[in-house]
């Protein structure tokens, strides 16, 4: 393998059925990085079923800077980006979408901003060219919620176009659809994060891979991120706290049962008071929460001590014939 320090910039592009836009995107990327020293363009084929892979192989024949990672099947954008980050050789890594909506001309600006002392520079699509009802409006709400919960004040977590120092990604493992939370995860680790406004273009070919169902996934991932940030090494505090609340409710309900039993028996008979059943249910729930917390503690320790395992499976890595490995 080549020395990573010899590669200044890695462009990582996850691809899923984008045959109509790949050649034009490649030409734009080449133009954008023409003054960036030694660079590589790393395409990650995420199980495309169209001619995307054949087009990439054709492009690679004429450009030794192009590398292709072919995943066995469609693992999703997060897994594709994770594969690209893992195998990128550059000191700086810039991912962007393959649909052409991210403008490669913004890459030098992102890199220049990164070099002023930041570890991550996130793109902000201030003027978006997406459907307002299904994409733009839900995205703005989601970004506002994410910023408030994570404490990282960005306007656009979902923009793929970002610039990272390679070392900022080394300790980050991605699951689900958590690629949009990388700035938050890195910031919690002490990395310096900022953003700049980038150009967002209308989709010229193909069709979007996202819909409103993405909102629910983002919410679940956000809950996971918050849990990992605050309680990844102490889950017993979460489940134990919920168990304590349930136990308190059980005692209060049980106290009310004794009150009605001995001080107001006629009231208890009249209303068929269900507090005794509620007290027992809350008590059992409290026990279950505490046991779940103990199990979570065991799982956390197993996770931190287990061997490293990726969330994707690579079928092959296609290198240019003229490139030394």
Domain-wise residue ranges, the chain = 4-231, 236-302
Residue % of the chain over a pLDDT of 70: 84
Residue 179 has pLDDT above 90, yes or no: no
On the question of pLDDT at 294 being above 60, the answer is yes
The tokens of 271 are what?
């209303």
Segment 62-76 mean pLDDT: 93
pLDDT digit string, tens, across residues 208-228 = 655 556 667 777 777 777 776
Work out the pLDDT band at 255, boundaries 50, 70, 90.
Answer: confident
Q: According to the model, what pLDDT value does residue 113 have?
A: 96
Residue 8 has pLDDT above 80, yes or no: yes
pLDDT-derived band at 114, boundaries 50, 70, 90: very high
The yes-or-no verdict on residue 246 having pLDDT over 80 is yes
Is residue 168 helix, strand or coil?
A: helix
What pLDDT sits at residue 15? 95
Residue 65 pLDDT greater than 90, yes or no: yes
> What pLDDT was estimated at residue 295?
85
Which residues, in sequence order, are CB contacts of 270 under 8 Å at separation 6+? none
Predicted confidence (pLDDT) at residue 264 exceeds the cutoff of 70 = no
Q: Under 8 Å CB-to-CB from 19, ≥6 apart: which residues?
A: 48, 50, 51, 52, 55
Rounded to a whole number of angstroms, the distance between the first and last alpha carbons of the chain is 4
| Average pLDDT over every residue of 138-145 | 84
- Phi first, then psi: give them for residue 257, nearest 5 degrees: -60, -45
Quick one: DSSP state of residue 103? -
Fold category of 4-231 in CATH: Spore Coat Polysaccharide Biosynthesis Protein SpsA; Chain A (3.90.550)
User: What is d(CA 195, CA 266) in angstroms, rounded to the nearest whole number?
Assistant: 67
pTM recorded for the entire structure:
0.74
Structure tokens at 283: 């008590």
The tens digit of pLDDT for each residue in 21-45 reads 999 999 999 999 988 889 999 999 9
Measured distance CA(55)–CA(43) in Å, rounded: 11
Helices and strands (H and E) in the chain: how many = 11, 8
Dist. CA 2–CA 118, nearest whole Å: 26
Mean pLDDT of the chain: 84
């Amino acid at each position: 393998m080549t020395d990573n320090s010899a590669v200044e910039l890695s462009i990582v592009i996850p691809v899923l059925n984008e045959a109509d836009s790949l050649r034009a995107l490649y030409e734009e990327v080449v133009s954008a990085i023409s003054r960036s020293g030694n660079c590589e363009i790393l395409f990650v084929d995420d199980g495309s079923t169209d001619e995307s892979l054949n087009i990439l192989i054709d492009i690679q024949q004429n450009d030794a800077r192009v590398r292709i990672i072919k995943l066995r099947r469609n693992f999703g954008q997060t897994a594709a980006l994770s594969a690209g980050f893992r195998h990128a050789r550059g000191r700086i890594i810039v991912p962007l979408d393959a649909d052409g909506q991210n403008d490669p001309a913004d890459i030098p600006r992102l890199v220049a901003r990164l070099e002023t002392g930041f570890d991550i520079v996130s793109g902000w699509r201030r003027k978006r060219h997406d459907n307002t009802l299904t994409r733009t409006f839900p995205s703005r709400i989601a970004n506002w919620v994410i910023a408030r919960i994570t404490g990282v004040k960005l306007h656009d977590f979902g923009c793929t176009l970002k610039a990272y120092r390679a070392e900022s990604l080394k300790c980050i493992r991605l699951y689900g659809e958590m690629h949009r939370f990388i700035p938050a995860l890195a910031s919690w680790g002490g990395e310096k994060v900022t953003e700049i406004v980038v150009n967002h273009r209308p989709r010229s070919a193909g069709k979007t891979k996202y819909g409103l169902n993405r909102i629910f996934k983002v919410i679940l991932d956000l809950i996971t991120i918050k849990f990992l940030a605050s309680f990844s090494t102490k889950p017993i505090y979460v489940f134990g706290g919920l168990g304590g609340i349930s136990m308190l409710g059980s005692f209060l309900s049980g106290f009310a049962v004794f009150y009605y039993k001995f001080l107001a028996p006629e009231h208890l008979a009249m209303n068929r008071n269900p507090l005794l059943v509620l007290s027992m249910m809350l008590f059992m729930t409290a026990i279950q929460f505490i046991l779940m917390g103990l199990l979570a503690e065991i799982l956390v320790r197993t996770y931190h001590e287990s061997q490293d395992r990726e969330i994707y499976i690579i079928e092959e890595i296609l290198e240019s014939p003229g490139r030394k490995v």
